[in-house]
Structure 1
């Protein structure tokens, strides 16, 4: 049996800090974890990876008040908010 893993999209949905992203990310940017993770800021990727690892191995994550999975980058001056979207194969 061939197993297709879920696609995981990483979307920039908000900014909490006052400064813009030093890597140039802005609201609305979206990255496919498998094919575009090299385009994501390493600081954001460092924060995203544990969440993605848990999802890929069948774990569950707490949901935000909006019902989705969110995390922030570790740059305190910027603090971009990212949302993880899981796309099932064939969709």
Structure 2
């Protein structure tokens, strides 16, 4: 059984890959070399933080609803979004 760790993201429990190899395999291919470089250069006191940061970049950590909202906003669809100030710098979704 592969080692994993469990965390809470946005109120939901998520099981993330817990080894260097399983994180590498779960990452999108374009990110793997960057992950390997960072993991290989991390000190003993840094490696757990490096692994946790990269595990959070794997698909398991993503919320499908949040991803859909981000895609909608990137496409220019701001329906249901209410701006908190006149400058439009701060917004929240009504949905």
Name the TM tier (shorter chain).
under 0.3
Structure with higher RCO (Cα < 8 A, 6+ apart): 1
Larger Rg: 2
Q: Which has the higher helix share?
A: 2
Normalising by structure 1, we get a TM-score of: 0.27
